[in-house]
Amino acid sequence: MTLVALFTTAIELTSAQRFLLMLPLCLSLAVVYKTIRLEDVRAIPAASLILSATIVLAMCAIAVGLWAVFSIMV
């Protein structure tokens, strides 16, 4: 019953927690992508970490760029 309650009861999140939860989602995305792309399975962990870091950094860069554009225009 406790196990069922884990999936029927929502967790209350703050805005900061919401953004932090982006990190594991990026990691899982990178792991699956690299798993189906790489022929050598031993290379998957390192490649996944690099790809997830790249995704996060790229999103941060886009956010900073959009913030700069917004600051200039407004």
Partner 1 sequence: MALVPPEPATNPAAVAYAPRNALLTGPIAGFLAWLVPGLGHIYLGHRVRGVVCLVTITVTFWTGVAIGGVQATVDPHERSFWFMAQICTGGNTLAAYGLHRVVEPQLAAGQRPVAALAHWLSSEVGVHYTGVAGLLNLLVILDALGRADAPSPKRTRRDHPPGAPRP
The footprint of partner 1 (CB under 8 A) covers 4, 6-15, 18, 21, 24-25, 28-29, 31-33, 35-36, 41, 44
CA atoms within 13 A on the CB side of 52: 18
What type of residue is 1? Answer: M
Token digits for 32?
């699956």
**CA–CA dist 53, 47 (Å, integer):** 10
44 vs 51, which CB is nearer to partner 1? 44
**Minimum Å distance from CB 12 to partner 1?**
5
Q: How far is the CB of 7 from partner 1 (least distance, A)?
A: 5
- Least Cβ distance, residue 33 to partner 1 (angstroms): 7
Question: Of 9 and 71, which CB lies nearer to partner 1 in the complex structure?
Answer: 9
* Residue 47 Cα to chain centre, angstroms: 15
